[in-house]
Chains A and B, each alone.
Chain A
Amino acid sequence: MINRLTLILFTGALLSFQCTAQSKPNGSAIQIAYEQQNKAVTETIDECKRLLAKDKLTFSDSVKLESRISLFGLLRAEQATSLLVQNVTRRTVGLMLEARAFADFPSVDALIQIGNPSVHEILRRMKPQISTATEYPERDLHLFAYVIRQVDGDEVGLFRLELEAKRATGTHKLNLLNLIDIYKLNETEAQIRVALTAEEK
């Protein structure tokens, strides 16, 4: 299990490595830091899976889940993108000390912080043989479109989607075309919330 102390220790290890590296190159220090991060991320993924497996989260669990997910963003944890994409619409309490978009959909911010690997994972998930869903639910697509736009910007994001759609066939292509339609709406956070609420009903 990772907690903030672990993160601080990990960050400390990285800083320590940087200091060491300036005076004396040390390949093993990189390896140790890398392994520590991998271990921390893997443990946090497991903890998130346990929380997500619960039918109903307590308030405390919900705050815990979003704090763990935010760590993936801080650590740019590429390994977590699959979990985050699959749970992009999982809603938590959205505790805010600092204002941020979609605070109650913590996977969104983590995917944006992770960046390009998130877009790869979203595109991969559009393939029906990868995803459990044959046609991806629109709720998810609104949030995917938002993530891609934040990572890639308007034009590059659209270009990537269109290029992917050009190569795809069948349900895969259909998912991508649906995503492109939503992407072109250029929705704000408020508009997406309205869309999500409408689809809930």
Chain B
Amino acid sequence: MNLFKNPLTHVFAAIIMAGSTGFALPLGGVITNMPSANETTVRTEAERQMKDKDTRFKSVKVENDVFDGYFIPASASTRLAVVSDDGVTITIDGAATNVTNFGAGQSDKNIDQVFKVVSTPTFVVGRAYRIKVDYSNTIHTDDNDFDGMTLFAFNGGGRTQEVNMIISRGQDGYAVPDDEEETIGAFTVANRNNTDNDGTPDNSDNNVPGEKDLMKLEISRPAGPATDKASVKVTSGSARFWESSTKVNPVPLVNGAAEFTLSNLPKTIYVETTATSPSLRSISIELDYKGSKDTVKATGVWVQFSGAAHDTKDAASLFADPVWSDTTAQPRDWIDGRGGTGLRPINTTNGVVNAILIKFTLLPSGVAGSQNVSFDITRQAEGRMWTQVEGGTPTLIPEATRTFPNSNEQPNDAIHNDDESVSPSAQGNIYSIDIPGLQNPQVPDGVDILTFRANFKEYVRVTFNGIRPLGNSVIGSRCSDKYLWHVAHKLEFDAGAFTGNFRRTTGDTTETPDNSIGDDHIVIGGPN
């Protein structure tokens, strides 16, 4: 968190400086008669904001806000005082102060004219003290209410210290706002995918052309001598630093921390999440300059394949199973519509299809509700189809031929999103279905036997900009391993049924190599 990005902090900073000229106040006392210059400064600020009707300061609503910064006292006798409206709390180095419950939501154009001295530790000159001001209990009554507070130093005063980092989401995503960098944090993919298609997962690879999953980290320059050093360290979670977004050179570490002389700041480095985060915001990165610190947090997202239902089973039995009971309405409707999974009976409603339901679990737990993190189940396919008249030569149907894309991360069977969960289940699972085959079960002229075999690679991709991926382009990043599965059809004209429909050469009840759907790939091979 950066203290000085909140509009109120301008007041804070200004008054600390004003206070540094020094005036005497009794420790712990309540002051109503401030020296006129300082009193004027405080009240003028509040009144000017109201008078000018500046949209930003027309009223100061700071509910659910927190600010966080450092103060470096210039004297051991420096004291802090506060003027405030309602309900702020202040901590110094994590310890509560005596400042609580100033008023109770009054609608007042002027800040309550009460200056209160804040209880502080015995200040050590030159040391940075972390000050947090929490407004979460303020009550904003109306547009005339001023919920602000002003904190200032006196008896020698001091200075403020700006120590700040800005972290951005992966995929060249947006910079995380200062007030969200610890509460929401940045998101990216645990770098287990293989962007450059070289067979080595990106987290074990150096120099990855096209890599887009590292998070940009901008480190500002604190005020101080150019030869001073600031350090940046991963204090928790699995992450490492790189000089470039494509992992060309790692940032050298000294005792686990990257050190930068102030003359080399500001600087941008990149953060790779090397493993799936066990919990939201498990990655914590800290910038430290002489005890003044800024912390940003991040989450490495991954999705786990959790199973596939492809044996022949009716929908009611399937969804009674706790493993599948949280299947989301879409794509459950497809399985209900076909009556279940596996080899489905051939009729006008079903067509000739073998059905599969696939389950993935989002990690870490809770990532489903996170802002602007969007998942899409997608697919690569290869397959061939042949038709044949009785006693004739099989004919390849070129329009039905698919080959796997050259790119490891590019789908070729993902034009629609109707076959998968719109959003995750309460348990954090997402589902997809497929029903490869023919929707029209009627045998066309000139066909007595039809053979169709296909292999699929099912996986999940993710974006961090709130736009759900769709289509056969490389969009977002792959965030799961690939589940391999296959389908096989061998169909013939059902002369006895008088429906004109196909039938399976090996019946509808038992899967055979000719008629199946299930795990792993098969040899596509030739027609026989």
Contact = CB atoms under 8 A, between A and B. Distances in A.
Given A59-B444, A62-B444, 12 more contacts: A58-B444, A58-B445, A59-B397, A59-B446, A63-B400, A70-B415, A97-B383, A98-B379, A98-B434, A99-B433, A103-B351, A104-B351
Nearest to B395: A60
Interface string B372-393: 0000000101010101000000
Contacts of A64: 399
Contacts of B383: 97
Contacts of A56: 445
Interface string B433-457: 1111111100011110010001010
B413 A99 contact: no
A117 interface: no
Q: What are the 6 A-B residue pairs with the smallest beta carbon separation, nearest first?
A: A94-B439, A104-B440, A103-B439, A104-B439, A99-B419, A63-B399
Contacts, number: 89
B56 interface: no
Contacts of B334: 99
Contact of B387 (A59, A96, A193): A59
Interface of A: 56-60, 62-64, 67, 70, 74, 91-104, 189-190, 193, 197
A95 B419 CA distance: 16
Contact of B399 (A67, A96, A197): A67
B234 interface: no
Contacts of B296: none
A58 B413 contact: no
A67 to B, nearest CB: 5
Contacts of A94: 351, 438-440
A57 B440 contact: no
B159 interface: no
B183 interface: no
B14 to A, nearest CB: 43
B418 A101 contact: yes
Nearest to B439: A94
Nearest to A56: B445
B20 to A, nearest CB: 50
A103 to B, nearest CB: 4
Nearest to B381: A97
18 contacts: A57-B444, A58-B445, A59-B444, A59-B447, A60-B387, A60-B399, A63-B400, A64-B399, A92-B440, A96-B353, A96-B435, A96-B438, A97-B383, A97-B402, A98-B413, A98-B434, A104-B440, A193-B348
